[in-house]
Chains A and B, each alone.
Chain A
Amino acid sequence: MAIDPASLQEVLALAQVCEDLARAALKVAQDQLRAKQISQSEFDQAFGDYGLAMQKARDMYYQASHDLAHSVAQGADCKALAAQTKALGESLGRLQKVEHVLAISFGVVTLVASIATAVGAPSEHTLAGAANAANSLKTAIGF
């Protein structure tokens, strides 16, 4: 589950505003220090505030990322993918069983042979054999 696009844009825009303000304030402080309008300690204070403001802006990204990590990892979509992967693996396992393929192949052979026998020597017994072979093949294929 992703973030609602509007919410994502809101986070990005809000954090950007915080960053722009912090950087603008630092620029003013730098200009004032350069013009010696403020002392080094006053600039250090301004720089500390700038660092904190930038960190708060980053935290908006990080908090959204944290919420996203939980919602994606624990969400239904990830579980659905895992379930489909498992189902595909099981299907493949079934297909790969040589016995299964052989059961189908010999089922077909038996069916064809049973029909040929029934045609050659028609009787209740041979017809029942052909019907049984057809049912066995259906079972082997898995229908």
Chain B
Amino acid sequence: MMPRIRYFTYKQIMAKTSRFETWRWGLAVVVCAAFAACAPSLNAVKSTAGLGTQLASFESTFDVAATYCRFADLGGTPDPQCQQLQADAANWHAVNRALVGYAAALSAMADDSKDQNQQTTIATALGASAQIGKAWSNVLNANVTSGISQGVATLISGITGVYRRERLAVVIKASADAVAAVARGIDDNIALLDRAAQNLTATLGDTLTSIQLGSAPAADRLGLAFALASVKIELASHRAALASYKAAVDAFAKAHATLRNGLNGLGERKADLELSQLIATDVVQIVQSTQTALTPVAVPPTAPVAPAH
């Protein structure tokens, strides 16, 4: 008993192929659009990352604290803290670099300007495949080739775009607390060193008024006044740099927190799996649908015909 094979006309084949393709591209677009709706905007990530990379210019901001600390040595009382502050500079460099490196990685992942458009490559590949045999050339006419290559290119663009956003969402969520904590640490240190600079400024002012009261020659007093005034200017500049550093760190931390708060459900393991499954299902269901459509239909056994009497 031979199973009956369902054969399709050329029109039926094209209709099915076309239906599968339409469904496929449609699903891909829906997946990408659904993801993009709550995924981080690449432009928002880029601008946040830009705030983070600007922190590179503040790497040495804390270095001069040790130099100012040593002013006390001039009075004959070396401060043991200065050596520690000097050594701490390397740690603060590393902390700043951690933020800058992270921001640079965000920026690179959000930059899709160099993504390749594979449409021409795919169309060429399909065109070459069409030369292989009759079945190909029958199915792949110019319109189909163009449609498939455009659709595939869109799908690839969607996949890479989804991948970029999905990775960014995962990393931004995972890093949110760390960015906030490190930024707070830098802020705290700025507060401490700013107060130390204020202390020195007050000391310089008090020293100046004390010199005026003393019995030193006028030239000495004038020279010391000039020296102290120039140091006060340096300290004021240092405090301004600390304030700028604080503003830059806070801006980055705030923008990062805003990004993180905009990620609804993404970056969680469950959401990631759902996304993966959607794309994988897209691929698998096409094959399954094709298999179903082409499965040979079994012909029911016919009852033996009784001989006529």
Main secondary structure of the interface of B (DSSP, over half): helix
Interface size class of A (residues with CB under 8 A): 35 or more
Q: Are A85 and B101 in contact (CB under 8 A)?
A: yes
A37 / chain B contacts, CB cutoff of 8 Å: none
Q: Are A30 and B210 in contact (CB under 8 A)?
A: yes
Docked pose: A88 CA to B175 CA in angstroms? 11
B222 within 8 A of A: no
A30 / chain B contacts, CB cutoff of 8 Å: 209-210, 213
B179 / chain A contacts, CB cutoff of 8 Å: 81
Q: Are B105 and A92 in contact (CB under 8 A)?
A: yes
A21 within 8 A of B: no
A84 within 8 A of B: yes
B244 / chain A contacts, CB cutoff of 8 Å: none
Docked pose: A16 CA to B184 CA in angstroms? 22
Q: Are B91 and A72 in contact (CB under 8 A)?
A: yes
A109/B148 contact (C-beta < 8 A), A12-B191, A30-B209 known: yes
Shortest Cβ distance from residue B200 to the other chain A in the assembled complex, whole angstroms: 7
Q: Are A109 and B126 in contact (CB under 8 A)?
A: yes
B30 within 8 A of A: no
Q: Are B191 and A66 in contact (CB under 8 A)?
A: no
**Which of chain A's residues has its CB closest to B211's CB?**
A47
A55 within 8 A of B: yes
Q: Are A95 and B276 in contact (CB under 8 A)?
A: no
Docked pose: A28 CA to B202 CA in angstroms? 16
B286 / chain A contacts, CB cutoff of 8 Å: 111, 115, 134
Q: Are A105 and B122 in contact (CB under 8 A)?
A: yes
Shortest Cβ distance from residue B4 to the other chain A in the assembled complex, whole angstroms: 13
A131/B287 contact (C-beta < 8 A), A81-B175, A88-B109 known: yes
A15 / chain B contacts, CB cutoff of 8 Å: 195, 199
Q: Are B91 and A70 in contact (CB under 8 A)?
A: yes
**Which of chain A's residues has its CB closest to B200's CB?**
A58
Q: Are B195 and A12 in contact (CB under 8 A)?
A: yes
Binary CB contact string for chain B from 66 to 95 against chain A (1 if under 8 A, 0 otherwise): 000100100101010110110010011011
A45 within 8 A of B: no
Main secondary structure of the interface of A (DSSP, over half): helix
B139 / chain A contacts, CB cutoff of 8 Å: 116-117, 119-120
A120/B156 contact (C-beta < 8 A), A40-B214, A52-B77, A85-B102 known: no
Shortest Cβ distance from residue B55 to the other chain A in the assembled complex, whole angstroms: 12
B191 / chain A contacts, CB cutoff of 8 Å: 8, 12
Docked pose: A47 CA to B208 CA in angstroms? 12
Q: Are A73 and B195 in contact (CB under 8 A)?
A: no
B156 interface neighbour in A72, A77, A108, Cβ under 8 Å: A108
B54 within 8 A of A: no
Q: Are B280 and A138 in contact (CB under 8 A)?
A: yes
Docked pose: A22 CA to B289 CA in angstroms? 86
**Which of chain B's residues has its CB closest to A132's CB?**
B287
Binary CB contact string for chain A from 41 to 76 against chain B (1 if under 8 A, 0 otherwise): 001000110111011011101111110111111111
B118 interface neighbour in A12, A54, A92, A105, Cβ under 8 Å: A105
Docked pose: A88 CA to B186 CA in angstroms? 24
**Which of chain A's residues has its CB closest to B6's CB?**
A122
Chain B residues with CB under 8 Å of chain A are 5, 8, 13, 16-17, 20-21, 65, 69, 72, 75, 77, 79, 81-82, 84-85, 88, 91-92, 94-95, 98-99, 101-102, 105-106, 108-109, 116, 118, 121-122, 125-126, 129, 135-136, 138-140, 148, 152-153, 155-156, 159-160, 163-164, 167-168, 171, 174-175, 177-179, 181-182, 184-189, 191-193, 195-196, 199-200, 202-203, 206, 209-210, 213-215, 276, 279-280, 283-284, 286-287, 290-291, 293-294
Of the A-B pairs whose beta carbons lie under 8 Å apart in the complex, a sample of 8, sorted by A's number, is A1-B185, A8-B191, A15-B195, A61-B193, A62-B81, A62-B82, A66-B84, A111-B283
